Structure formats: C-alpha cells, structure tokens
Chain A
Amino acid sequence: MTTESQTFTEKYDLLGCIQCGRCTGGCPVTVRADLNVRQFVNDAYDEEKLDELARLAEIWDCTACHTCAVRCPKGLKPLEVLIGLRSMIVESGKVEPTVRDALQSVLLEGNPWEKPRAARQDWMEGLDVRIAEPGEHVENLFFVCCTNCYDPRVQVTAKNMVKILNKAGVDYAFLPEDESCCGSEVFTIGEEGLFEMTVEDNTEFLNEFNADRIVTLSPHCFTTYRTHFPDLKHPVIHYTQLVDELIQEGKLAWKGELPKKIVYHDPCYLGKQGGIFDEPRRILKSIPGVELLEFDRKRERSLCCEGGGGKMWVESESRQERLAETRIKNAKELEADIVAAACPFCILTLEDAMKGLGYEEEMRVAEIMELLGEFVEA
C-alpha cells in the first residue's frame, strides 16, 4: 500500500500487457515448474481472483532473474506481479516458517541468515582491513553482503579481496559492523514494508560516508542499490569492474599458471540485470594458462541458477531437475574443469548441484575471487 489508492492493476500496469508471451517463453523456470507468468499477469486483472492466485505454490518458483522483464516488448516487469502476490501472503503473516525467520532476522540482526550482528565481521579475523569512518574520504567503499560475511563457503571472496586490495595499494575501506542487508531478497519475497525501511535506513547509513564509489562483492547488492535506492549519493560498481581496472593498470602480478578450462556462468543479477558481461571474462582470461569456455546459454541468455527470488528459503514443489543441475551437466559436456561465477548465491547453488550429481572429482565450482586468491601475488 505505498499509495493507498492504487489497485493491483494500476500498481503493476497490468493493462500495459499485450499477452505476447515473450516473458513465459524466456522464463527459465518453466521447464521445471508450473509457472506461467504471462497467465498470472492476465489473471491478476480480476481483483476477486487475487487471494486465490496468491495461494498458489508456483508464485514462489520465480527466481527474479528478470528474463521476463528483459524480454518484455512493453518494458513491463511481469515478475513483479508475482512479487505483488507474494506481498499479500507476507501481509497475512502466513509465509513459510523459513521465510518468516529470514525476514525477522533481517529486521533484528541485519542479515537473513539468523546470525548475530555481532559476528558480522568475524570473517576479518587475522586480516589487515581498513574500516571506513563516516565523512573520511575513500575511493572505494566496500559493501560485503550478508552471505559473504556469514557463510563459510563464500567468506573467501571477501578475504581474498582484502589481500589483493592491500597488495595492489588500492585506496579502499570496508563498511563498519553496522553494514546491513541490501534487501535484495526482502524485495523479491515481497516484504514491502521491510524493504522500504531497508532503503531508508541503508541510504541514510551509506550517505554518511564519503567515497568515490561503493563496490559490492555480490551482484544482488549491486543491482539492488542501483535499481531501488534513488537517494543513494554514491555510484555503485561490482568488484569485477574494479579488478578489471586493476588488471588493465597492471597492478596485479600473477604467481603461477592455471592451465584449466573454465566456463563462466553469468549471474542474472550481474549480467542480464546489470549489464556486466565482459569484465569477469577479461579477468578470467588474464589468468595465465586459462582456456575460457562459454555456455550456449551465456550473457543475457544465461540459465538462472535458482539462487535468487527468495529461493534460498523456499523449496519448490517441483521435483524436476534443478536448473543448477542442468547447468552443471552443461559444464560437464563442455569438459570444463572449473565453473566460475561472481555471485555468492550462484556459487552455493551450483556447488550444491555439482555435489548432488557427484562430480567433485572431475569439476570445481569457484568464485572468481577464489581463483585470484590462488594465482595473484597477495
């Protein structure tokens, strides 16, 4: 109820839809779930049907990859209709307990992982990290991301970043402990009130700092800040853009070779939503010995790993092959040694899939920062 008088139809511009079906046609989830977003846009026009639609399980299958929005010839965002339906469930309080706990955790602890705020910077232990002071000028202000802070599998992204920044003499600082969730998943889960609060609080917090730009380690934070934070005074980039710069400027020294075939998986929040496709590729190609492979579904057509859209907290009812498994199988067909990505959710879901398929002996899933950590002098 951002503006009390808006109907569902007005809010999501349902009348703008010409029912062409390009959205559903491109939706990666349709191969494994009953989700037909075009149908939802059509049905949601009938206000009386909204309650019934909101109770359907498939509205939680959407990963918010935004393929539908990218493809819509009318510039609409069909996925937002699904998010709107999710909002109705959120307002009723009857969301899945896992979703409830994640949202409550964002409110109370500033992260969706039910971890204490006091432990947010535990990953920094043993590292020499410069912490930002409000008002003090810094070129690059780093926003780590809740998942990178708390999940041991991806803390390496942040740790390696610090080591490389120190070695390359970059002017940087990391946000202090008050760093709180960007709200990416809060938005896609449909908790409008909490997301509004997140935007307000984070804008106020981030604007206290004096930086040339904010650098995010996660594409979700990257896209969320650029899309939903109109009053944020800093420009926001993703770390791959910074590292790409460092490589162009010759600031990174390689200490070894990585004679492997690496296939790069474009994260939806970095690629199709952020337009960042080339920087990660340049980084990988610059590692000595690397042979860079490409998926058929690459760049804007990248196959979503199903990590976003709240999927970390909601299991799909469909028992069909997960998209991440399909992706890993594609990688195997390409005979790739490493599947690389630049997003914590992609890493977690792809690695999960790889282990589920039993490919650990032959293949590895790695965050670009993991590889840099192994091959850059730092």
Chain B
Amino acid sequence: MGDVLVLAEHRQGALRDISFEMMAIAPKVAEAMGGEVKVLLLGSGMEEMAKKMSGYGVKVIVADDPLFENFNAEKYQKALSALLDDMKPAVFMTGQTAQGVDFMPALAVEKKLPYVAEAIDLNYEDGTLKAIRNMYSGKVNATVAFKQADTYLVTIREGAVEAPEPAAAGDVEKIDSPLKEDVPYRKFVEYIEAEVGDVDITQSEILVAVGRGLKEDKNLPPIEELAQSIKADIAGSRAATDAGWLPHDRQVGTSGKTVKPKLYLALGISGAFQHLAGMKGAKTIVAVNKDPEAPIFTVADYAIVDDMFKVVPALTEKLKELKG
C-alpha cells in the first residue's frame, strides 16, 4: 500500500503554509507508489482546518484531543509512533520546521525507519524513493536514496515548492486520539509573542534589507539614508539580527518574518534559503552582492554584482536626482 501520510502543521488556530506546500509533492509520490495521500491533523478544535485541508482532494484524518492543544514533541512522538504502527503508510511526511525537527529524528530512531531531512523534492522511481537535498550554503544538491523499508520518513523544506490551488473536495475522518494520557517529561508552559516594534515589516511596501555584508552597525547610516529617500523600512537577514545590528522583529526569513513588499532591496545578503523563504514573495527583488554566485540572484529581478558600500551612496544620490 503506497499511501503518503502527511502531517499538516498548524499553530495558534491556523494552518501553516508548509501544509499546503506539501500538497505539491505528496500526490505525485502517492501516485507513483500506488497509494493515496492522507493528511493527518493532531490538535484541538480542528473542524475548520480539517475542512480547509480536505479542499486539496485528500482524505483528512483528524485526532481531536484537548491534549493536543499546544505542540509538544513528546506527545507528537508518542501519538505518531502509535499511528504509524496502525496505519503503516509507505511515506510519512511533515515540514522541516521548528515543530518537525523537534520529533522526526527521534521518531525515526525509535521506529528504526529511514529518514531524510529537509528534502526540496521527492520522487519514487524504479522502486526506490529518492530525495533531493540542498547543502553547503545552498551551493550543492544531493540525491539521497532511501533503503527499502515499510515506511519512509521525510521532512520537506519550507518554501521549496509552491503550494498548489485547492482543487477537489476530499473527506474528513475523525479518529480516536492515540494519546491515552498526558506525557510525563515535557510540559508546554506558554507562547511568548515576538516583540512588536514600531514597524511591522510584514506590512511594509518597500524594504531595504541588510545581511552579513553590512559588517557592523556603524555602517547603517548610508543604508538608512537610502531607505529614507524611498520611504522604505529596514529589515535584515538572521546575520544582521543575531549580531544585534537590527532588532529581532526586523528579521526576514524562516525564523523571522515572511514579507511581501512591492520592492525588496537585498544588500550584501547572500541569499541563504532561510532568508529567501521569507522574501521570495516580494513583487520586485533587487539584489546587490559582491559574489556573482550568491544564491540571492536566483530570486532577484535585478542584479548588481558590486560592493554594496559603493552602490548604496551612488544609488541614493541618483534616486534623489531623479525624484527631484
């Protein structure tokens, strides 16, 4: 039975995009393996979300249990361990996310099943399941094959594929919660919201973003001047916020914010996938980087290979001239 069981991800009442993105991969694998796609939802109060997932023409399986109200890796591992024994899917898939990484490797070890983390593509050919991974600062791809097993475990990189449009209507089946009792060792305490600063970059029309290339915060003034000249907000990659050059709420990327401005200027940002995932959706992307091989250029509309410290002041000046 070649079923692909997809664990959809949700948080604070909403499904996360990765859940829909996996719908671009799961169906083709299921078809090649002679099975169907089933989407699993573990949570509390899942009616709306279950309905939404079923819009992808898949069978949605819901384990609705107050114990699942907040994510807890110990609970998930326990529940999934039981469900895998029960359902025996050919493939068990979820997102390579803060949630997914917190239990998938442990589950793979516990069940002694093959596991590939962060696949950007997955294909079943000639009886072998193969995943494509991306490594070495995004510069190299790897083809990894799963050895034969009853179930293959895989996580999918966020933003690697585009989510398809929901098409047909599938059905929703409720199952008994696989958790019989609370777990002993790990306790969820609370969520702490990210500090809300003065600017919500997810709402910004124009963003000027800096990364490693900034080198230090004393180099911000020309960037600020550029931003001011075009009424842009300033954002940064993880490198910029980890270093303290920008507050955390300005971080664009998988561990920060996803932004969709009409214009995104990436300055001295190499374009690690974590960053790209957060800004690929920008309408127009301009990238300036000294390295012609920088991955940022794969998503840019306009590219300048040069030193950002030379380009920025010149650009600010020309913009001022043209805008009058």
Binding site for B on A (CB under 8 A): 97-98, 152, 315, 355
Against A, the Cβ 8 Å flags (1 = close, 0 = not) of B236-253 are 000000010000000000
Closest B residue, CB atoms, query A114: B215
A152–B313 touching, CB < 8 Å: no
Q: Is the CB of B313 within 8 A of A355?
A: yes
Query: Whose C-beta in chain B lies nearest to the C-beta of A96?
Result: B216
Does A97 contact B313, Cβ atoms closer than 8 Å?
Answer: no
> How many inter-chain residue pairs (CB < 8 Å) link A and B?
6
Q: Given A152-B307, A355-B313, are A97 and B243 also a contact pair (CB < 8 Å)? A: yes
Please, which residue of chain A has its CB at the minimum distance from the CB of B217? A315
Nearest to A98 among chain B residues (CB) is B216
Q: How far is the CA of A152 from the CA of B290 in the complex (A)?
A: 11
Q: A97-B243, A152-B307 are in contact. Are A315 and B313 (CB under 8 A)?
A: no
The size of the chain B interface, using a CB distance under 8 A, is 5
Q: A98 vs B219: C-alpha distance in the bound complex, in angstroms?
A: 13
Instruction: Please measure, in the bound complex, the distance between the C-alpha atom of A64 and the C-alpha atom of B313, giving whole angstroms.
Output: 31
The dominant DSSP class at the B interface is loop
Residues of B within 8 A of A (CB): 216, 218, 243, 307, 313
Instruction: Quote the shortest CB–CB distance from A315 to chain B (angstroms).
Output: 5
Closest 6 CB pairs of A and B: A315-B218, A98-B216, A152-B307, A97-B243, A355-B313, A315-B216
Contacts of B243 in A (CB 8 A): 97
**Chain A residues within an 8 Å CB radius of B216:** 98, 315
**Could you say which residues of chain A place their CB within 8 Å of the CB of B218?**
315
| Cα–Cα distance between A315 and B217 once the two chains are bound (Å) | 10
Minimum distance in angstroms from B187 CB to a CB of chain A: 35
Q: Could you pull out 6 A-B pairs where Cβ atoms are within 8 angstroms?
A: A97-B243, A98-B216, A152-B307, A315-B216, A315-B218, A355-B313
B313 contacts which chain A residues (CB < 8 A)?
Answer: 355
Q: What is the bound-complex CA distance between A243 and B218, given in angstroms?
A: 37
Residue of B nearest to A152 (CB): B307
In Å, the complex CA distance between A315 and B313 comes to 21
Bound together, the chains give a CA A152 to CA B218 distance in angstroms of 20
- Chain A residue at minimal CB-CB distance from B290: A152
Most buried by A among B216, B218, B243, B307: B216
Residues in A neighbouring B307, C-beta threshold 8 A: 152
A315 vs B218: C-alpha distance when bound (angstroms): 8
Residues of chain B within 8 A of A152, CB atoms compared? 307
CB of A260 to closest CB in B, whole Å? 24
Alpha-carbon distance A152/B307, docked complex (angstroms):
9
Tell me the smallest distance from the CB of A192 to a CB of chain B, in Å: 25
Alpha-carbon distance between A337 and B22 when the two chains are bound, in angstroms:
64
Measured in the bound complex, the distance between the Cα atoms of B243 and A152 in whole Å is 24
Give the distance to chain B from A123, nearest Cβ to Cβ, in Å.
14
Residues of chain B within 8 A of A355, CB atoms compared: 313
Q: How far is the CA of A152 from the CA of B313 in the complex (A)?
A: 17
Return B295 CB to nearest CB of chain A, in Å. Answer: 18
Tell me the complex Cα distance, A97–B217, Å: 12
In Å, the complex CA distance between A172 and B243 comes to: 43
Complex Cα spacing A97 to B216, Å: 10
Q: Which residue of A lies closest to B243 (CB)?
A: A97
In the complex, A98→B243 CA distance in Å?
10
| Alpha-carbon distance between A246 and B307 when the two chains are bound, in angstroms | 35
Residue of A nearest to B307 (CB): A152
Contacts of A315 in B (CB 8 A): 216, 218
| Least distance between B83 CB and chain A CB atoms (Å) | 46
